[in-house]
Structure 1
């Protein structure tokens, strides 16, 4: 993957009347990168994608592709293609005709069109499907047809707007693997918009987290998960225990007091003094017979390779989520459980 920027958003703002949907957004997508924009519904991520594709025009700022401003360039003249949430395959066309539709509109002759359709159906593991009707193939296969149709014109940027959201969980996971394989075979950048953080974390080279029209953090999936820049990112990406406390300096180091009179004290790597929010991932609470945190198991969720417990703490803390991997004894609802916080795991934010 090149470090060279292919897509650049420069102080982009989009207003709809009195509503600001996107507010001073800056980021770039590198050539050959799988980049995801993730955030809750209504945060501005689809509006951002539509400004890259040309279906919306920024109120302020600039969108550049390959160094050229796109603000006054219509969608059909941009070197992008879009895979929609709803696939919109043409029901009166075969699979091959669907894939070759853009080539036909571009005036590509029948011989070359047939060759490129065959090549891209092979790319998405659908060789031999050209003469099928779209209604005769599965949902996952229809998804791959839509991707082949978007890629056959070889755009510099493939834009994907929640294309896996309508699939069931098993098929969605299968298509994640397929999408990654397809991306590795082509040269362009993939720009993926989703509210599904699991999909974004699985597929992406880098992830941008958006909230209320602004970018809160950009980084690799590992950076976003382990070193969230804000309490919103920590709470939105993955599961976490978000606790409120008070940070203060003691003997040259910082400690955070959590809970009330019977609360607990954590050492923390922070310069904050005063009110704080503390994020502790469920897997960073370790079951230990002599753990500092004690409580009663009030919920238990078996999930195959892991078990999630919710404990009512006796330390004046809110209910805590604890995840254990593999097999542990017979911990059941109503049992007493003690846990320790993994050293270095808590992330502290100014409240």
Structure 2
């Protein structure tokens, strides 16, 4: 089984866990898993130290070797550098053979689709997992080159859990999307005793692209737009928030500090998966904001980050994207649509904190554990007809 991802091109702690949910999660379930990544043909390698995207994967390769080594996959990964025309990583010598002998590809992508080179196109079943619902479908409708990435797959899954429902405004793009949820390993993310005097925290990307995306009256916007109605919360609730924010365009740090938000060190928190995990574990709970597009479309999206908070026994207070349609709320998880609902939820969490911590872990086990999420996904992917070479 081959897992495709973006661990090397986006070497940050949170993105690492999103990829490990599949690579490490499937290995934990006993599957014969290899992690493979492709550079694509564009300068996609992000270097957090320089905050630039280039064609040089050096930083990401070191990052991946460390991360995959610590989770038992140190000898089971390779990276194809199209810019250099070379395979790199632990299995560089036999990567093509491993790819061509696989039974299934599980391709996880956020803002981009993972293209399939010729050594992957003959794998009989090829599952694409959409981690950016709404944006993916609109790009498939508007961008022929992006759509061609998805046309190479045989099965399609999205974490937009409400896709296809009347309440969900995500446009249909011609692919037969099935829904899934972000997987989290309860072994890798153990329950940790809650900190009742800690802070409400999150790790967020202020803007993942410049401007907005539009399609037939549907406006798909960033988290920066979603955050605006909640900017004054510290003035109502006091200094209870500590958020780590990254933006590649317009930095919000000065505005947030002026409004009373605690600003955590995004560089230190995201330097590797374990610094990121430690930040979550020393939090009281999560205060999460979603991309405006996820909210406006009622996508049902729920973050892999929030699933990690739950697994750690941390209550999640998150902007409503429609996830209450499938995830029980009111104990361990709270959905909000207004600042007033945030104030009310904070009061409820504070009043019975230990109960909400235990409920958070139970929800993680029931809805997001690798044991609950991955077997149905694999079974559905394998049940699709064998695909012709892409």
TM-score of Structure 1 vs Structure 2, range by shorter chain: under 0.3
Q: Which structure carries more helix by proportion?
A: 2
Q: TM-score, normalised by structure 2?
A: 0.22
Q: TM-score, normalised by structure 1?
A: 0.23
Q: Which structure carries more strand by proportion?
A: 1
Q: Which has the larger radius of gyration?
A: 1
